[in-house]
Amino acid sequence: MPAARKRNIRLRSQRGASGVFTEIVDHLRTNRTGLRAEWARRIAEAQLLKAMSEDEILTETASLYDNYIDVLETGAVEALESYARNLSERIIPRGVETHEVIGIVLLLRDVLMRSLFVKYQSRMDVLTRMLDAFEPAARRIAVTVAVGFVHERERIIYQQEAAIRELSTPVLPVREGLLILPIVGVIDPKRARQLTAQLLRGIRANRAKVVVIDVTGVPSINATTANHLVLTVEAARLLGATAIVTGLSPELAQTLVTISVDLNKMHTVCDLRGGIEEADRLLGFRVTRVDGPSEQPD
């Protein structure tokens, strides 16, 4: 018996809610122009979507508004999910930020809620019922759009990460027994591991005695990667190769000293040229100019 009663109540409340939704949707459809203008005004006031032109904002807000009402009417968020993905795909390359997207969706909620207040202010009981129905739906819509946007962003970030990883670091044999490893870009732990493995394999394959690791292209370094670099130098020594680190910028040098990485065992030279000269000295090479510069081929 109690179960049946409960179901009965739920059905009634659902029917009630859908009735409320119909009323809300009707209200929002009839006042579409006014509410959209108000929303656009609030967006401009909050200085959101500055990366987009006015026309674009108008089109996007129009379709977002209609999608919003559709969700209120049908309760199906799937269409909105795909719309949010689609929207994110279009606006992320334009430089639209997460806070802007969430901001405009919340502004629309505010505008709609306020219009409900204005319409039903004299009938408190109806207003309460309306808000009871509207609030969870509005919350769900805001979450859906925000999650769609963040997912799309993450997808792009993963894609870029994979692209960066593909630009692997080459190990270049320069002279007999000399390898150069130019590192360009940020070293994350994954890349650092790959780099070490490549270098150690390169040492064995090329029978290298000296390795010049050039970090001119590394903008910043953290304690983990710095320690990894030290480990790489040590491991190279175990394979019988001397590692020379070149191109430590003043900022990198400062960071390394501040985070007190033990660099005593690292052989460092200021630039790649100096590093190669030092390597030549260790290997017993001497570079001399034969006569004047040879003629450049055209």
Would you tell me which residues interact with another protein (CB under 8 A)? 196-197, 200-201, 203-204, 207, 209, 231-232, 234-241
Q: Which is nearer to another protein, 174 or 239 (CB)?
A: 239
**Are the C-beta atoms of 70 and 91 separated by less than 8 Å?**
no
Q: How far is the CB of 165 from another protein (least distance, A)?
A: 19
What is the CB-side half-sphere exposure of residue 274 using CA atoms within 13 A? 11
Q: What whole-number distance in Å separates Cα of residue 204 and Cα of residue 211?
A: 12
Helices then strands (H, E): number in the chain? 10, 5
Q: Which is nearer to another protein, 186 or 235 (CB)?
A: 235
Type of residue numbered 108: L
Q: How far is the CB of 292 from another protein (least distance, A)?
A: 37
Q: What whole-number distance in Å separates Cα of residue 229 and Cα of residue 242?
A: 13
Q: How far is the CB of 220 from another protein (least distance, A)?
A: 23
Q: How far is the CB of 228 from another protein (least distance, A)?
A: 9
Q: How far is the CB of 230 from another protein (least distance, A)?
A: 8
Q: Which is nearer to another protein, 49 or 233 (CB)?
A: 233
**What is the spatial order of strands in the sheet that 267-269 belongs to?**
172-175, 178-184, 210-217, 242-246, 267-269
Q: Which is nearer to another protein, 37 or 223 (CB)?
A: 223
Q: Which is nearer to another protein, 2 or 284 (CB)?
A: 284
Q: Which is nearer to another protein, 232 or 246 (CB)?
A: 232
Of all helices (H) and strands (E), which one includes residue 66? Answer: helix 54-74
Q: How far is the CB of 196 from another protein (least distance, A)?
A: 6
**Are the C-beta atoms of 175 and 277 separated by less than 8 Å?**
no
**Are the C-beta atoms of 131 and 149 separated by less than 8 Å?**
no
Q: What whole-number distance in Å separates Cα of residue 192 and Cα of residue 233?
A: 12
